[in-house]
Amino acid sequence: MREATLVPEMTLIESVRETLRMEMRRDPDIFMLGEDIGPRGGVFLASEGFVDEFGEGRIMNTPLAESSIIGIALGAAVNGMRPVAEIQFADFVWPAINQLVGEAARVRYGTNGGKFAPMTVRVPYGGGVRGGLYHSQSIEVLFAHTPGLQVIAPATPWDARGLLRSAIRSNDPTVFLEHKRTYRLVRGEAPDREYTEPIGKADVKRAGSDVTLVTYGLMLHYSLQAAEMVSQSDGIETEVVDLRTLRPIDGETILDSVSQTGRAMIVQEDTGAVSVSSEVAAIIASEGFFDLDAPVNRVTAPEIPPMPFSPLQEAEYMPSPEKIAASIRRLAEV
Amino acid sequence: MSESPSDIAVEAELSLPSGLTRERLLGAYKTMCLSRVLDVRIWTLNRQGKAAIAASAQGHEAAQLGTVLATDPTRDRYLIYYRQLTAMLALGTTPTEMLMQFLARDGEILSAARQFPLHGAHPRVDLFSFSNVVGTQLPQAVGVALADKMKGRDAVTISFFGDGAASQGDCHEAMNFAGIHKVPVVFLCENNRYAISVPLEQQMPVDSIASRASSYGIPGIEVDGTDVVATYEAVKEAVDRARSGGGASLVELRVERLLPHTTDDDHTRYRSKEDIERIASMDPLPITEAMLKRQGILDQATDDEFKEWARREVDDATDEAEATPFPPVGDMYEKVLESDAGGNSRA
């Protein structure tokens, strides 16, 4: 996908902002709604300066009422608009679950295609930001479990641009998860042109022949660090598969990699029980079993409510490059 | 309703509001007759084990007809809920199309029989209902109306709901946003005083839902929903206001639910015998019939003709719907996503 020509590097939040700006300029049916997205530019500045360019009619500050943010976006979507709603923090999405999981996801199916909802819900999520119990949550599982939704979780500015554009142009409701810790931590190339990345396709971010590591979001970067660590210290070569889309999950790319390495592990920030890693493990177990030389391994958060505010406890909660590296070594030795 | 000479004199002075002709009123009464016969038939089909579930519109007919009369189906939009049988007929749905919903037959127009009756999207009128979770349609209706406002279209969105839905947070959120942004929506509450079995006084500490409108900076009005003309007048004013850029309104139509909540309910468990006997006097069918006769709009021969026509229509529709097969099993896998590739597993 990447072109040989050098393109400017930008942070992930910049890639989100510039994609939103380009899409808003391209299509007058796109409008944004959410808390503090107006003159404030959103708490993460995803819409910084947008009111000046697009006006309050297309950059709508809403009351603090998440259910209606999604319900109103849904109504506008079925009536010809292409709304992009922002849920300020993933932890605040729960009041909107009914409108998103109960309603938006079922619109096309429940009307036999008579109505559909081209809407994107941007949700900053994830921890490691001293966010405590209510500014740290990983909320992807419930959405990834829901037929009728698409769930995207990019980890790089390139993918954020290509996938956000695909989400906005899609005619189905899409939850677009942006890891808060990656917003300014992660820089990368992301050109100012109208490229898209396909929804539902994983991407091999590092080639390797010994272990397949499946991950997404912030954990991609920790996993890539861990892969370099074990390569240098132990000569173990890890193939890192970035899921990028959590619904539908790209089983084919995962299984192709596992068939080469014979060893598989999944790294996620979320708690492990009944999670994305459970699903990936199930795909590998049911369709890649005879390629396996070792049991599937998982690195996840402990089974406590995410996540403690206190710094030592937060660090203990989060998977780290060191923990991931240790897990790769154990798997490679089996 | 008494029929004393003084009443007749008062009624004779009733001038019809703008846009409501004698012919339209008579047509609405004909639809009311059809709705009642169909409603009774659906209940019977349930008792015969053929219709899995039904919510009756009996008691709500005049409210729904007065509302539809005040709108323009060629450009307005309707977010209904499950008790809108009469409104569906008034908007041009045929009895066969209605029975196909209740019997879940192949070719059912709203959802291909995936959903409960009265849920899905209508192919000819912009009418839809996604959910059984009451109140969800209220913010959705605000979004629909917001899109029309953004596009500069003159459509008005009617969002039907009941007194039960009025307790949902979505109700507050929707009205609040509609008030702030002056979106062209009419919140149309059919208040029958019962959320299944929970009476109004256990749902809210006040007797009026319309009184909440002041909290949202929008007009609110309470109307006798058994009176088709009064309903028309109130809704027409709200629709005209929305269409001319005046924003949202809340119209509360006071009605009685003549039957239990659904075919699965038994209202004798929670309503007194006296109460059930009393609400029979609030039946909009005889009320409307008497009003039209006093006004000289309806005569007995026409009334008999309407009721006979309704029976024939419903008999024919029943035969047609019952002769239609269920949808093929394979159809259930279609239209999840545009790409129809939404499965999370690789199956």
Residue B22 lies in a domain: no
Does residue A305 belong to any structural domain of this protein? yes
Decide which of A189, A219, A249 is a domain's last residue.
A189
Range of the domain at A62: 9-189
Indicate the residue of B120, B145, B346 with minimum beta-carbon distance to A112: B120
A208 and A148 share one domain: no
Give residue B341's pLDDT: 46
Told to judge if A145 belongs to the known catalytic residues of this protein, a careful annotator would answer no
Residues A297 and A163 occupy one common structural domain: no
Residue A196 lies in a domain: no
B48-60 burial, b at 16+ Cβ within 10 Å, e below that, comes to eebbeebbbbbbb
In angstroms, rounded to a whole number, what is the distance separating the alpha carbons of residues A183 and A179?
Answer: 7
pLDDT band for B347, please (50, 70, 90 cuts): very low
- Cβ pairs A/B, distance under 8 A: 169
Mean pLDDT of chain B: 94
Q: What is the mean pLDDT of residues A197-216?
A: 98
Residues A163 and A260 in one domain: no
First to last CA, chain A: 35
**Domain closes at, from A156, A189, A222:** A189
Same domain, A174 and A36: yes
Same domain, A252 and A321: yes
Tell whether A247 and A292 lie within a shared domain.
yes
Of A73, A116, A279, the CB nearest to B143: A73
Q: Specify the CATH number for the domain of residue B132.
A: 3.40.50.970
Q: Do B225 and B231 form a contact (C-beta atoms < 8 A)?
A: yes
- Cβ-Cβ contacts under 8 Å, B121 against chain A: 111-112, 114-115
**Final residue belonging to a domain, choices A161, A189, A217:** A189
Share of chain A above pLDDT 90, in %: 96
User: What are the pLDDT digits (tens) for B240-280?
Assistant: 999 999 999 999 999 999 999 999 999 999 999 999 999 99
Window B:62-81, CB contacts with A under 8 Å: 77
**Chain A CB contacts of B144 below 8 Å:** 75-76, 78-79
Proportion of chain B above pLDDT 90, given as a percent: 93
A198 inside domain: no
Each residue's pLDDT tens digit, B124-145: 999 999 999 999 999 999 999 9
Q: Is B146 on the interface with A (CB under 8 A)?
A: yes
State pLDDT tens for residues A69-105. 999 999 999 999 999 999 999 999 999 999 999 999 9
For residue B9, is it within any domain? no
Angle between helices B228-243 and B61-69 (to 10 degrees): 40
**B341 shares contact with chain A (CB less than 8 Å):** yes
Is B238 among the domain residues? Answer: yes
**Tell me, what CATH number does A49's domain have?**
3.40.50.970
Q: Which residue on chain B is closest to A97 by alpha carbon?
A: B136
- Asked, for residue B149, whether it belongs to a domain, the answer is yes
A28 touches chain B (CB under 8 A): no
Distance from CA of B195 to the nearest CA of A (A): 20
Regarding whether A268 and A122 lie in a shared domain, the answer is no
Query: Are A30 and A119 within one domain?
Result: yes
Token couple for A151:
């769930």
Domain CATH for A295? 3.40.50.920
Q: Tens digit of pLDDT for each residue in B90-127?
A: 999 999 999 999 999 999 999 999 999 999 999 999 99
pLDDT band for position A192 (cuts 50, 70, 90): confident
Smallest CA–CA distance, residue A117 to chain B, in Å, is 10
Residue B232's domain comprises 29-321
Number of domains in chain B: 1
Together in a domain, A32 and A154: yes
Distance between CA atoms of A207 and B38, rounded to whole angstroms? Answer: 67
Give the Cβ contact number of residue B175 at 10 Å. 27
State the pLDDT confidence band at A4, using cuts at 50, 70 and 90: very low
In this structure, is residue A275 part of a structural domain?
yes
* Facing residue for B337 by CB, picked from A77, A108, A282: A108
Which of A29, A68, A286 is most worth mutating to test chain B (most B CB atoms within 10 A of its CB)?
A: A68
Looking at the structure, do residues A69 and A100 belong to the same domain, yes or no? Answer: yes
Contacts of A72 in chain B (CB under 8 A): 139-140, 142-143, 146, 174, 177
Residue B63 belongs to some domain of the structure: yes
Whole-angstrom distance, CA of residue B99 vs CA of residue B81: 17
Predicted confidence (pLDDT) per residue in A146-189, tens digit: 999 999 999 999 999 999 999 999 999 999 999 999 999 999 99
CB contact under 8 A, A114 and B123: yes
Condensed to tens digits (0 to 9), the pLDDT of residues A104-148 reads 999 999 999 999 999 999 999 999 999 999 999 999 999 999 999
Reduce the DSSP state of residue A19 to 3 states and report it: helix
A101 and A180 co-located in one domain: yes
Structure tokens at B109: 């127009």
Degrees (nearest 5) of the Cα angle A265, A266, A269? 145
Q: What single-letter DSSP state applies at residue B328?
A: P
- Could you give the CA distance from residue B119 to residue B204 in angstroms, rounded to a whole number? 28
Decide if B230 is inside a domain: yes
Q: What is the predicted ipTM?
A: 0.95
For chain A, the domain total comes to 2
Residue A195 lies in a domain: no
CA A103 to chain B, closest CA, distance in angstroms equals 7
Residue A194 forms part of a structural domain = no
Do A169 and A103 lie in a common domain? yes
Residue B345: band (very low, low, confident or very high) from pLDDT cuts 50, 70, 90:
very low
| Residue A3 located in a structural domain | no
